[in-house]
A = this chain, B = another copy of it.
Amino acid sequence: MSAGSSFGKNFTVTTFGESHGAALGCVIDGCPAGIELSADDIRPYMDRRRPGQSEFTTKRNETDEVEILSGVFEGKTEGTPIALLIRNKDQHSKDYSEIASYYRPGHADYTFDQKFGFRDYRGGGRSSGRETAARVAAGAVAARLLNGLGIKAEAYTKSIGDIETGAFDPNEKNELYMPDHEAYLKAAEYIRGLSGKGDSAGGVIECVIHGVPAGLGDPVFDKLSARLAYAVMSIGAVKGFEIGDGFASSLATGLGNNDSFRSEAGSISKVSNHAGGILGGISDGSDIIFRCAVKPTASISATQHAVNKDGDNIDINIKGRHDPVIVPRAVVVVEAMASLVMADAILSDGCDRLETLKQIYGRQG
């Protein structure tokens, strides 16, 4: 491994940036030419991830304006690398001497120190959730490509603690991205209760990818499901991933879990979707459905046991405002990672059959 900040083989994203460095950003290499793209297409995605939007997110005010540095000309992608830049604002304003002195539980302070011999203690450096801003920007570009092909990833909050979204209400809009008004109210109450005690909550995000053609994914290792798992589990706070019925399928029997095929008017489909849209690692034409578990925010103000750099056992109280739950802000990050996987898969679709290559090759004549 070693150089671990790139994702994707043909649609390749490389991200950079620390939480409190000069800037974050990414380079997208392999994006096809001819896609209309401007900063306006990226902004709505950034806004969904942005802090300071509600009582449940930190007050840090990042406008996160994205500058397109390259790869776009006359409003269209050129086929060359697309570099996106997000400046960090006010990153020098704080005193980090305390946080630099100890290892926070649930954070990567200790492991970065073990790996690299020293660490960037300013807000977690590279291990900060702020890193996901670059993913969201890249995901917005992938979404532009996918949308041109009728594919769309949509994520939402499935649960906060043990409060689950019931029936999906497409009209329900709230700052927890929970498409069920009753569940939202309960979840908000639950979070407020924890927040008041300096504690935090976790939850589950579900993502549905619509309009996926059958035939995407590359067995045996690059199964579409495996690539999705890889992508989503690379988000800092994610601790679990499941596709279709996931862990529940371990409780089912073959008869109940298999999705029967049905032919109607010359078109083949499945009568159920326990598999979550992928069979043998290849998309089957149904919606792709997956979920991931997000742990409770590690930064809490309640007293915790920790170790400082001198090796003393100490008690700490982490200062500053932190999100009492990061699930709502992670929703768009999950969508972004799903879009990156799908864009990468789409770019190999023409390579599967000789007959398709013959068609492509014909264009050159």
Contact = CB atoms under 8 A, between A and B. Distances in A.
Contacts of A161: 250-251, 253
A320 interface: no
Given A33-B117, A125-B80, A239-B243, A295 B199 contact: no
A233 B285 CA distance: 20
A66 interface: no
A251 B6 CA distance: 32
Interface string A280-294: 111111000000011
Nearest to A126: B80
A242 to B, nearest CB: 3
Interface in A1-20: 1-12, 14-18
Nearest to A311: B263
A357 to B, nearest CB: 6
A229 B229 contact: yes
Contacts of A231: 221, 226
Nearest to A262: B313
Interface stretch (A49-57, A174-182, A209-217): A209-217
Contacts of A254: 106, 194, 199-201, 296-300, 302
Contacts of A16: 27, 29, 69-71, 80-83
Contacts of A260: 105, 304-306
Interface string A252-263: 111111111111
Contacts of A248: 293
Contacts of A219: 4-5, 80, 108, 126-127
A271 B222 CA distance: 37
A68 B243 CA distance: 36
A251 B5 contact: no
Given A34-B117, A114-B215, A356-B363, A3 B7 contact: no
Contact of A239 (B112, B247, B296, B360): B247
Contacts of A263: 307, 311-313
Interface in A59-116: 67-71, 73-74, 76-83, 85, 103, 105-108, 110-112, 114-116
B69 A23 contact: yes
A300 B258 contact: yes
Interface string A308-344: 0001110000000000000000000000000000001
A349 interface: yes
A33 B353 contact: yes
A36 to B, nearest CB: 9
B7 A2 contact: no
A317 B347 CA distance: 38
A237 to B, nearest CB: 9
A81 B83 CA distance: 14
B220 A4 contact: yes
A214 B112 CA distance: 9
Interface string A128-158: 0001000000000000010011100000000
B14 A262 contact: no
B302 A257 contact: no
30 contacts: A1-B10, A5-B29, A14-B81, A34-B353, A69-B85, A80-B125, A105-B260, A108-B279, A114-B285, A115-B214, A127-B281, A150-B361, A200-B255, A202-B249, A202-B251, A204-B250, A220-B234, A221-B230, A221-B231, A223-B234, A227-B230, A239-B242, A240-B243, A247-B293, A248-B293, A249-B296, A250-B295, A256-B296, A257-B296, A356-B360
